[in-house]
Structure formats: structure tokens, C-alpha cells
Chains A and B, each alone.
Chain A
Amino acid sequence: MTNQPEPQAILQMRGITKRFPGVIANEQVDVDLFPGEVLALLGENGAGKSTLMNVLAGMYRQDEGEIYLRGEQVAINSPRDAAALGIGMVHQNFMLVPTMTVAENIILGLTEVPFVPDMQAVTARIKALANRYNLQVDPHAYIWQLSVGEQQRVEILKLIYRGAEILILDEPTAVLTPQESRELAAVLKLMTAEGKSAIFITHKMEEVIAFSDWVRVLQNGRLVAVKRTAETNPQELARLMVGREVLFRLEKQLAVPGPVVLELCDVHTRNDKGLPGLQGLSLQVRAGEILGIAGVAGNGQRQLAEVITGLRKATQGQMLIHAQDYANRSPLDLIRAGVSHIPADRIGMGAVGNMDVADNLAMKGYRKSPLSHLGMLQPQRIQEFARKMIAAFRIATPSPATRVKFLSGGNIQKTILAREIDACRDVLVAVYPSRGLDVGATEAVRKLLLEQRDKGVAVLLVSEDLEELLSVADNILVLSEGRAMGCVPAATADINALGLMMAGVSQPLTVN
């Protein structure tokens, strides 16, 4: 085996170094990609995976190192250069125009499009490609009408339409349901069977195993391991990624639930488009208990969190905290009632990117002593508080005066968690708290939730990760179209039964 010549690599990156002011994002990284294969790029948040791929896709220019395509050195100075060389990237945040159709988005920015494009021909070609790769999507649909999974298909179609031979996918499954993830894996199989290759960025070990032929592990911008996927296992990959053994199973003590703290009775809401959101949802969360909310994204999870935190009106029903009705009270009233909220949208809602870490940490406590006194902020106290939180929650920041937008996703989330947990008294609503976080940060987040539970807080955990719900929550309630499909204890929950409930079948069925 070792003596056999390796097949000719389609892509080689050699000694790639990319520096940003104050940070080395990539240092001497090598990449080999073979035709018809999938390479997984594994690493924690901030390990430099996206930067490396942005270099390849022409978004950044490397400071050192060379890129070879089919053995020839190439210079990639722009995304257009990359596209011309057959390299395309699906970014984490999709680059689509919501008010235009699928077909329009696909030809947008193509150089050879005539002034009046022949949309029929374009549509026909899209349909043909969609059939070939099983990427079903209506070319006439507007982007805003599509689910996230469908939008991702459009992004992939866009690249194939442009003749991409090397596809780069930046955390493609972060936004997908398990079902959609499996479909994506099948699509990749079809494409690699034709000799196309793909690189995908991830920090999830299961995906490495499920999707890839090779895996390269990055840590702090450096390449630390290259493995054939068949010759490794999740445990080893996790260790390589974080540089230490990771607990996959959390040490969890049995919950000691107290009295009911949070109770919803027949709550109805409307979504932003005025359509029914929650439709008669009732639930109870006890002190010292974590209630997990499972469900496919968009089935009322966000609205549930918003009703509890005062951000959305309930059109009907009661929301009791310690048996007092708090439905339709202001967000401030609910903060005062001891409700903390870790929102799904970290940067849009949970933090103020242009303000510094210390300010962001003070955004709940600033109303009271010691952070303020008689309406005056106490800058020294705010700094002390920030340093305490930074240490306690291990927020990696150059200083308390760094603007939050310069932190990595995991550290922004830790900043929010620190603030919310410090202010939390009775109820903690956590929405997708570990989404997009690496193993280390995810573990930290889950531990913090359990700690709050053990302190007697009523925790509501919304997650799309069933594994997470099963390992962290005490009870799991499944939402589908704004209704509770059933509520089961996590210890005895069956993944298949949960799956059925998520699909809208109420009452857990016993599967033989």
C-alpha cells in the first residue's frame, strides 16, 4: 500500500500562512484533495478553517504559501478567479438575494450572461442539474419562500451551474435538520461519483465519519493531523481537535425537581407574518428541572422563547411565573421577574458588536448596584465585574475593552451566557445555546445549564440537536406547528418516537 503511488491530487495547498492584525489565522498549512473524494476540515471555532478556505475561494489572499491545481501553480486573487478555476464555496451565511428567484440568483454575477438572459434555457438547465444531483428546488420560487435547507441546495446548484469541480462547504449541516443532512450526504456522493471533489468545514465528528474520505485537523491555525477517515474514530478526532480528551457523556446527577416555576396555559401567538405561531401550547417547568424543547426549526420554538421573555405578544392564554400571570408584560418586567434569555441570534440580539466586552457583560446588571449608583455607571466596578466574568466563564478576549464583534462565535456566546447566568434567578430560556460552537465550548455551555438546574433554576432548553436534549434535559417536549406533540422523560425517550413526534404525529408511539 505504502509503495503504491498516490493518485494525482487535484488540489494542493502548500505552506499557507495568513495573518490578521494581531492573529495568525493559518500557519504553514498544507492541504491535499483528490478527485472524487471528500476532505473534512475539522477544528474548533477560531482554528482557522474558514480562513483557509476563504484563501482558496479568493476571498482572502494568503501571506505565504502556494496553491497548485492539477499540479500547476495558480494565483487566486478574487472569487472570480476561483470560479474560473472551478472552485466554488457555499458560505455559512448564504449569498442569495431574497427578493429574486432561484434561477435569477443562479445566473447572477455570471460573466457570460447576455443582457436579456434566456430564462427558459436557464430554467431547463437548472432542472436538468437538479435532477441529476437530486437537488430538488423550484427555479421560479423566490428565495424568501424557501427553507434554509432549500436555500443551501440553491447555493450548491449555483456552483455546479458554474462548472465547479471543487466545492467548499462551510459548516453545511449547521442549519440543516438531520433528514436534510442525510440528503446532503447523498448529494455529495453523487457528485464525487462523477469525479468532483469537496472540502467541507465542520466541528462535528459524526459528520466527518459520515461524509468524508480524508480528514485534516486544524488547531490554532496549524495542521495537527491528517487521517484517512476509515482509519480513525470520533474519540481520536475529538482529542486531536481540542488537544485533550473530551467528555461525550456529561456527568449528570438526577434532577431534584421542586415546585412549578414556569407554566404556560393554552398559549397562542402569531408570527411576524400574522400567521398562527403557537397554537394552544401548555407546559410546566419545575425548579431544578431542564425541559428540552425538540422540533424541526420553525415550529414555534423561537416564539415560545419570545413569549416567555416578553418579546412577543400572546394572543390568548396565560404565562405564569410562580403562579403570577406574566403574559404580555414588558421584557423589563420579565427580566425583573428573574427570567434570563440566551437568544438564538447572538450577534443580532444577544450582544452589541460595537461595544466592548465589559459593556456587554454589564448590560443586565447596569441597572443596579454595584455596577451603577444613583443613575451613574461605576466604570471601575464594571471593569472588575468584567474581569471576574471573563475568568469565571473563560472568555478568550484580549481585554475587557475589546469590541465584542472581534471575538469568535464561541466567545461571544460565552459573554452572553456569563451575563445571563449571572443575572438569572428563576427561569433560564436557552435557545440553540450550543449551535455553531466547538466541542470545548459546547461542553462548557451544557455544564453551565446543568449547574443552573442544580441551583434550582427552571431551565427551558430549545435545541435542534437530539443528542444534546437527551444528554442534558430531564424531560423533552416536542413541538410541531406550534403544538405540543408529547412530553417524555429524557431518560427513557426513544429517538424514533421523538422523530415521529417531530414529524407531527402526536402521542409517542411504541415502535416494535
Chain B
Amino acid sequence: MRIVIEKRQALSRTALILTPIISFFVSLLLGALLLMASRVNPLETYAAMVRGAFGTWSNFTETLVKAIPLMLTGLGVSIAFRMRFWNIGAEGQLVCGGIAAAWVALFWTFVPEGLLLPTALLVGALAGALWAGVPAALKAYIKVDETLTTLMLNYVAILYSQYLYYGPWRDPQGYGFPGSALLPAMAWLPRLTGRVHYGVFFAVVVAFVLWFVFTRTRWGFELRIIGENQTAARYLGINIARNIVLALLLSGALSGLAGAAEVTGLSRRLQQGLAVGYGYTAIIVAWMAQLNPLAVLVVAVLMAALLVGGDQVQMMMRLPAAVGLVLQGMILFPMLAGALFVEYRLRIIRPQAVDLEPTPTAPEVTP
């Protein structure tokens, strides 16, 4: 008996849906081994995680709070990845958006009060766009490798934000705590329930708009062609450089919007806790969602649940903090590996019945 992996002739919807689910259970099994090695009961731990993420209304809202930036950055990253542009700078783009939004809210006193919040969000998105646009232009016009530039710009943005809230922007009434002054209330992004802010609407609207753009517009059609085959795109008269820059401006703008929403909706000041890795987790979200904007929404909630649940496990099961993170990685691994089965399938070949008769002599030749 042999097992072969072969490419699927057509995309299977069943596989598309079943694969992540089965992968998820495999993940749980692997995680259970790790937990048993740490001498805790895996079932209890998982139960604690689920309770931590969804058990109470307030826990659930916390999960949503973390899901919002994951959705927006995940959407941003998936646009870039569709173009085969490896934007791993969503973290920096998010921070830039946060800085810009705080800047507008704190210092743009000339903006009419009613327009302060929209302006802050818009400028935040623009700042994120700029932060992604620079590496995009470098890549598109002079072929500078984007993985390095986008990654490096993360540190620039993160360190600059620290400089601002430790230095010139530090709140004089802040008792020496690092962080800017509280933003004026006119610049606060309203909240729905708990700490869940309106960013969740942005994410959902953006996801549907992106889905529409990719499947129904001329521009989306061009982006799909560029993502699949750049030689063909050039031959078909599509301007690749310009489209990469445009797509990356959009990608960065979404991460910037995520940062702006975090600052105006959650912390309401520029302070520590903005750069906590959403931009990196977004890469995983984008891949797990197979770059499908609507799936990003769902996956972002699951990832957020993992983050919130993991924190809860640390507290309730008294596991070291690292175990929570290892567990998250453990759960991701099979999910990503499982993606293989969407494009490929296993086929089991049974051994053929072997003739026990003496080897036949050469059959006659067909005339």
C-alpha cells in the first residue's frame, strides 16, 4: 500500500471547510501532550481557555477588543500577500497610525471639534499608508527586498513612539508615567459595549469592501493577475509597479487605521501597549484565512480568543507565561500545515493483486 499526495483537480469546498477544523483538533491533541508534560490536566486547561475567551460576556468582549486590530491588520497584510509582497511591517504601520492619530487629537487644535475624530482616523490611516508605501515604492521601482525594509521600519516606528511618550509628549500631569496626555473627548472613538469600540464596524465594512474589490472590480482583477503571474500581467499591459504601490498604500492604511482605532478607542492616549504584536499575528491570521477577507474576520476572532484564553490559563492554571505562548504556537502549527490539504489530497493506493500463476510468456504481438 502506498500513500501519495496529489494536487487537486479543482478546489474542494469540503476540504476548504473541513481542513481547518480537523487541523484544529490535531492542534488540541498536540497541545495536550505539552500540557501533560507540564503536569496539568489538558481538558481542564482547555476548558479554562474557552471560559477565559468566551465564558462570560465581559470575557467575550475582551476577545472582541483584541480581534479588532487583528482583523484590520490581517486584512491589510492579506492584500499585500495577494500581490506576493511580503509585508511584515503591519506592526510598524499600526504604530504609525497610532502616533498620527494621537498627534491630530492632541495638537491639531485648528480642526473643528466635530471633525477631530474622523481627521485623526484618516491621518492615522494615511500614516500607515506612508509607512507601507515607502518599502512598496522601493520594491516596485528599484527592487529593494521588502521583507527587510518593512521589518526594519517596524523598529523605527516603535522606538519613535516610545521617544514621544517618554519625551516630548509625556503627560505633565501623568505622575511620571510614560504616556501622552489623555486625548480630548471629542477624539474618542465611541464604544459599543465593554471596551469594544467602533473599530469593529470598520473591520467588517472593510472586509466586505475588499471582497467586492477583489471579485468584482477591474482593479481587483488586475491585482489577482499580478499576484498569480507578473510576466503575464506585464504582457497584458498592466502597470505592475503602480499597482503594487497602490495595493500597499491600502494595506498600510488598514494597519494604520487599526492603530488609530486602538489609540482613540481604547487607550485614549499614546502609551505603552500599542505595539504588542498584532502586526505579526496578522501574518498568521492572513495565512490561516487563505487571504480571503471574509475569513480574516472569523480567524481574527479565533486568534484573539487564543490570546485572551492563553492569558487566563496563565492566571488560573498557574502555568508559566511561556507555556501559554508555546501553546499558541502549538495550535498554529497544524493549522498552517493543514493548509496543504486544500490544494492537495492524499490517495491511498492498494497493492494490486499479484498473479500467483507462473509468469506468462510473452503475449503475441498485435498485428
Chain A positions near chain B (C-beta within 8 angstroms)? 6, 8-9, 12, 14, 20-22, 30, 32, 61, 66, 68, 71-73, 77, 223, 226, 309-311, 330-332, 334-336, 341, 343, 345, 348-355, 359, 362-364, 366-367, 372, 375-377, 379, 402-403, 406
Query: Is the CB of B237 closer than 8 A to any CB of chain A?
Result: yes
Residues from chain A with Cβ under 8 Å of B9 in the complex: 20-22, 406
Q: Do residues B231 and A348 form an inter-chain contact, with CB atoms below 8 A?
A: yes
How many pairs of A and B residues are in contact by the CB < 8 Å rule? 102
Residue with the highest number of chain A CB atoms closer than 10 Å, among B220, B231, B236: B236
Contacts of B215 in A (CB 8 A): 377
| Complex Cα–Cα for A406 and B10 (A) | 9
Q: Which residues of B contact A61 (CB under 8 A)?
A: 2, 349
- In contact, B218 and A77 (Cβ under 8 angstroms): no
Contacts of A363 in B (CB 8 A): 225, 232, 236
Residue B175 is within 8 A (CB to CB) of chain A in the complex: no
Q: Is the CB of B228 within 8 A of A332?
A: no
Bound-state CA distance A71–B363 (Å) is 9
For the complex, is B143 an interface residue (Cβ under 8 Å from A)?
Answer: no
Q: Does B191 contact A (CB under 8 A)?
A: no
Interface pair A372/B218, CB less than 8 Å apart: yes
A14 touches B237 (CB 8 A): no
B114 interface residue (CB < 8 Å to A): no
Asked if A352 and B234 sit within 8 Å, CB to CB, the answer is no
Chain B residue nearest to A371 (CB atoms) is: B218
Distance from B241 Cβ to chain A, minimum over Cβ atoms (Å): 11
B312-367 contacts to A (CB < 8 Å): 349, 355, 359-367
Specify which chain B residues have a CB less than 8 angstroms from the CB of A367 in the assembled complex.
218
Q: Are A9 and B349 closer than 8 Å at their CB atoms?
A: no
Set of chain A residues within 8 Å of B177, measured between Cβ atoms:
none
B139 interface contact, C-beta 8 A: no
Within the complex, which residue of A72, A331, A403 is in contact with B236, where a contact is CB–CB below 8 Å? A331
Q: Which of A8, A223, A226, A330 is close to B367, meaning CB atoms less than 8 Å apart?
A: A226
Among A72, A352, A406, point to the contact of B229 (Cβ < 8 A).
A352
* 7 pairs of A and B residues whose beta carbons are closest in the complex: A332-B237, A331-B237, A335-B237, A21-B9, A352-B228, A352-B229, A349-B231
Contact B355 A73 (CB under 8 A): yes
CB–CB A9/B10 < 8 A: no
Q: A61-B349, A352-B228, A355-B225 are in contact. Are A366 and B218 (CB under 8 A)?
A: yes
Contact of A375 among B217, B224, B235, B362 (CB under 8 A): B217
Q: Is B239's CB within 8 Å of the partner chain A?
A: yes
Complex Cα–Cα for A330 and B2 (A): 52
Residues of B contacting A66 in the complex (Cβ-Cβ under 8 angstroms): 355
Note all chain A residues with C-beta closer than 8 A to B155. none
Q: Is B57 an interface residue when CB atoms closer than 8 A count as contact?
A: no
Known: A311-B234, A372-B218. A71 touches B239 (CB 8 A): no
Starting from the known contacts A331-B234, A349-B232, 10 additional A-B residue pairs (CB-CB under 8 Å) come to A21-B8, A32-B366, A334-B237, A335-B236, A336-B237, A362-B221, A363-B236, A367-B218, A375-B218, A377-B218
Contact across chains for B239 and A330 when beta carbons are under 8 A apart: yes
Q: Give the residue among A309, A334, A362, A377 with the most B Cβ atoms within 10 A.
A: A377
Most buried by A among B8, B360, B362, B365: B362
Neighbour of B235 across the interface among A22, A331, A353, A402, CB < 8 A: A331
Q: Are B359 and A71 in contact (CB under 8 A)?
A: yes
Contact residues in B for A9 (Cβ distance below 8 Å):
362, 365
Known contacts A6-B365, A21-B9, A364 near B236 by CB under 8 Å = yes
Chain A contact surface mostly? mixed
A72, A73, A352, A367 — which one has the most chain B CB atoms within 10 A of its CB? A352
Closest CB in chain B relative to A55 CB, distance in Å: 13
Point out the residues of chain A lying under 8 angstroms from B10, CB to CB: 402-403, 406
Query: Digit string of B206-231 for contact with A (CB within 8 Å is 1, else 0)?
Result: 00000000011111110011001101
* A and B contact pairs by CB, cutoff 8 A, 23 listed: A8-B362, A9-B362, A14-B363, A22-B9, A32-B365, A71-B359, A73-B355, A77-B2, A309-B235, A331-B234, A334-B237, A341-B235, A349-B229, A353-B229, A355-B225, A362-B221, A363-B225, A367-B218, A372-B218, A376-B217, A376-B218, A377-B217, A403-B10
Using CB atoms, name the residue of chain B closest to A68. Answer: B362
Cβ of B219 and Cβ of A355 under 8 Å apart? no
Q: In the complex, which of the residues A22, A336, A375 contacts B219, with contact meaning CB atoms closer than 8 Å?
A: A375
Contact B218 A12 (CB under 8 A): no
- Name the residue on B nearest A8 (C-beta): B362
Q: A363-B225, A377-B221, A406-B9 are in contact. Are A343 and B365 (CB under 8 A)?
A: no
B281 shortest CB reach to chain A, Å: 27
> Given the complex, which residues of A lie within 8 Å of B225, measured CB to CB?
352, 355, 363
CA distance A12 to B365 in the complex (A): 9
- CB-CB under 8 A from B224, the residues of chain A are 355, 359
The closest CB in chain A to the CB of B4 belongs to A61
Q: How far is the CA of A12 from the CA of B2 in the complex (A)?
A: 25
B230 to chain A minimum Cβ distance, whole angstroms, is: 10
Contact of A376 among B216, B361, B362, B364 (CB under 8 A): B216
Residue of B nearest to A64 (CB): B352
- CA A21 to CA B6, docked complex, whole Å: 11
Q: In the assembly, what is the distance between CA of A379 and CA of B359, in Å?
A: 59
> Please, how many angstroms separate the alpha-carbon atoms of A366 and B223 in the complex?
13
Contact assessment for B237 and A330 in the assembled complex, using a CB-CB cutoff below 8 Å? yes
Give the shortest distance, in Å, between A282 (CB) and chain B (any CB). Answer: 25
Q: By the criterion CB–CB under 8 Å, are A343 and B235 in contact?
A: yes
A122 to B212, CA, bound (A): 61
Taking a contact as CB atoms under 8 Å apart, the answer to whether A379 and B216 are in contact is yes
The residues of B that contact A330 with a CB separation of less than 8 Å are 237, 239
> Contact between B217 and A351 (Cβ–Cβ < 8 Å)?
no
Instruction: State in angstroms the CA–CA spacing of A403 and B237 once bound together.
Output: 22
**Chain A: which residue is nearest B224 at the CB level?**
A355
A residues within 8 A CB of B366?
30, 32, 223, 226
Q: State A355–B360 Cα separation when bound (angstroms).
A: 49
Q: A12-B363, A30-B366 are in contact. Are A352 and B216 (CB under 8 A)?
A: no
Q: Mark B2-26, 1 if CB is under 8 A from A, else 0.
A: 1000001110000000000000000
Name A382's closest neighbour in chain B (CB-CB).
B221
In the bound complex, residues from chain B placing their C-beta under 8 Å from that of A402 are 10
How far apart are the CA atoms of A348 and B229 in the complex, in Å?
A: 8
